Structure formats: C-alpha cells, structure tokens
Amino acid sequence: MDHEAASGRRIKVLVIDDSALVRALLTRILGADPALQVIGTAPDAFVAREKIKALNPDVLTLDVEMPRMDGLQFLRNLMRLRPMPVVMCSSLTERGADVTLAALELGAIDFVTKPKVDIAHALEVYAAELINKVKVAAVARVRPMFSLPGAPNQAGGVHVARGELRFRTTDQIVAIGASTGGTEAVRQVLQRLPPDTPGIVITQHIPRAFSAPFAARLNACSQLSVQEAQDGALILPGHAYIAPGDRHLTVERDGARYRCRLRDDAPVNRHRPSVDVLFRSVAEQVGPNAVGVILTGMGVDGARGLKEMRGRGAHTIAQDEKSSVVWGMPGASVALGAVDRILPIEQIAAGLVELGDSREERLAAGSYNSLGPRHQVLPGAAETLIWHRPDCGVCRARSGTNVTQFACQTRLIFSWRCIHDPLDPHPELLHQAGGDCHCGDGTGGGSDRAVYIGEAARHQRCRA
C-alpha cells in the first residue's frame, strides 16, 4: 500500500538545491507521480529553513553541496532541532560519496546520485528510483543522531564498550545483508564487534563509487580490518569484506579455507550486488558454519537466501522493526520463516558472540552425535562411514539416501574434518580399518550412530 492510499493525502516534498535546473527537473519528476506533491523549492539552507516552518513538508530532497551552508551542516542542524525524512542528492565522486555517507550517519534516510554532466538526462533515467525513495522516506523511521559507544542508545541502554566482547571460536563465516538505512546499521554492528570476530562478508546496496569509501569509513571506526572485497581474497578472522557496488559477492570454499568471489552476473531482485546471491553461496559453501544477518532495507532481497542458510543449519538473525529504518527485507525474512532470532540493532553484535560461544560449547561437549552425516574414507578400507551430527543442514538434506544403519564403536580415534565443516576440530570415533569391532561396549559414549555404505563389508555382523 502506498502512502497516498494509506493516509488519504499526497506526500508533501520540499526540494532544496542550489541549481535552478535541478530544482525544476526534480519538481517535474516528483510532481508527475499522483502520490507526491512538490510544495516548494529552496536554493539554499536559509531559505529552506523558513519554508520548512511555513510549509511543513513530509520529505526533503537535499543537495549535498550548497552555498552559504553546505547540505551536511544543514542536515546536522535539522536532525538536532526538527528530525524529518531526508533524501540526499549526491554527485558520483569520492568527495560526494564521503559526504553522503556522513549524511546517512546523521540520519538521512537514503540518497540518489547525479553526475556532473548531462544532469537532465540522468535524472530522467533515475526518475523511478527517486520517486520510490521519496515514498519510502515518507514512511521510514527517522533515527536520532547516532552516539558513540558508551552513550545511551535508542533502547535506553548503553553501547557495548570496546574490548568487552570476545569470541571463543573464529572458524565461522558471518554474512550480512542490508539496504535502505543499512550503511548506519552495518556500522553499528561492526563497531561493537571484537577484533577476534570470525570473517564477515557484507552486501550493502550501494553505488560502485561508494563501496570503497564505505569500507574505509567502517575500517576507521571498527576494531576489525574492513575492506572492499577483492576476487580471490582469503576470508580471515578479524576482517570484514564489503561487496563492490556493481558486482555480486559470493563465498567459495577452498579446502579448509574460504575465499571471496566476485561475479558480474545479471542483477537479482533488481540489485547488483544482491544479498540473495551472497546468502545462497554461503548456504551452499559454508552450511552450518555460518551465521546470516539481515538488516534494515527496502524490498525482499536476501529473504530467500537467508531461508536457504537456515535450511542448511546456519543460525540466522534479523534486525527488529523498531530499530529498522525500513522493515522490508527483515520483515520479509521473518514472514518466510527464515529467522531464528529478531534483535534490535544495538544487540546484534552481542547476539553474534553468543552464537559463537554456544557453538564452541557444543563442540567441547561432543554433542554432534545424533543427526546428519560426516564423511570419511579410511585409506585401504572398502568402507565409508557417515557420522551423524545435529547442526549440519547439508547432512539433513541427504538423510534420505538409501543406506544401512548400524551401531558401532571403535578403539581407534582419528582427528579429521567433516567436508561440511572443514574447520571443525572435534575428533570423531571412526571404524578401525581391519580391526576388531566392539559394538555397544561404550567406547564411543554409548550413543554413537553411524551409517555404513559399500559392498565389501568387514563387519557384516554390525548391520542392524
């Protein structure tokens, strides 16, 4: 339902730009939509201030670069004195990217980009995007100016101090997806994470010129090493990798390691990079060793991919509606049954640490014993054992294969790594090649369940 249908009136827009040409173009583009009404224009911040008082607009479009007072300073004053939805108009330059990202930190809802040349043609091309973002801004939640760690947050609590959180395991991958309002949400999550956090891969809907400056800003305010993803880069603990603005980011397993892979495939859900593309690759390549996080954003991108991750045994988290600028992507994920936990933005970092600790405790307790197979072929033996484990979605998906089950214990302990969980250090009890079988003697704790496949069985008497 659009804003006009929901409220019974048109969305009132005030256009602020120092260019008379841009003001005229924006007025014509926005006014062509029946849900929008341009109630005025302003060439600078001082005129804008008076028109805001007189006209009471629902949404502002604000130029970044203006005379007398630049757009950033005007936005800072506005969010302190009279917070309201703002869509920034920014140039596709490095400085334009930095200023726009700063504006999003101050509370702007979203932005559109405009080139330095052929502005009229470019704005016509992006007319649908501009109209859509103004409509979304009209119903979005305007956040108070964000405070640094240690200051009170929206929920009335206190931000986690740096160094307070610690991961007990780093052999995981964390995948994060975000869109509208996401640059600030991602910053809030990363800023609270400890330096021993598992490797993080992030898809944020953002233009190509903005992704590298976005990574640099995150790197400056986080204990992690944050960078724009490069094709083939190893995903390392304590590092976060941002998808380039015009390429899909995926994860590829390389033995016991994971690498970033960049793709130039067609947009998915109208986006490149797409959150669904990232999440689906993590589901396939990482399985239960992953955690998926879906943050604020317009639309549904990421919801299906997050459900695939959950189906493969990964933990999943969605940002709650109250702390989201737009509860589109998280809301769609919840509706689809893709989410384990719904958390406010200020609690997501602690939630990630808690999930890491919980997994480490299960490993230490040897609790991976009852569901889902682990595969190992012993050299020289005509046997393949498939060990059951509860958290492996890949294994659960294969649990219907035609195999014969039997209970078997062994005297020989091998340390090996599951193909679905290549970094899992937990030693498993395996059938000893050519050795004696001690079924039910308790050497494996009395609860070991294995699956036998293959014709040349050494221990036919073990068959159930």
Q: Which of the residues are catalytic?
A: 179, 205, 301
Structure tokens at 26: 């924006």
Angle at CA of residue 353, ends 418 and 362, nearest 5°: 40
Question: How far from each other are the two terminal CA atoms of the chain, in whole angstroms?
Answer: 59
243: nearest Cα among 206, 283, 198: 206
Handedness of CA 383, 388, 391, 393 (dihedral sign): positive
Q: Give the distance from CA 365 to its chain's centroid.
A: 30
List 327's β-bridge partners, or say none: 297
- DSSP 8-state secondary structure symbol assigned to residue 302: T
326 Cβ neighbours under 8 A, 6+ residues apart = 136, 140, 141, 179, 180, 181, 296, 297, 298
10 Å CB burial of residue 163 (0-12, 13-18, 19+) is exposed
| Phi, psi of 151, deg, nearest 5 | -90, 160
Structure tokens at 237: 């603990």
173: nearest Cα among 119, 230, 128, 237: 237
Q: Each residue of 275-286: b (16+ CB within 10 Å) or e?
A: bbbbbbbbbbbb
350 Cβ neighbours under 8 A, 6+ residues apart = 160, 165, 192
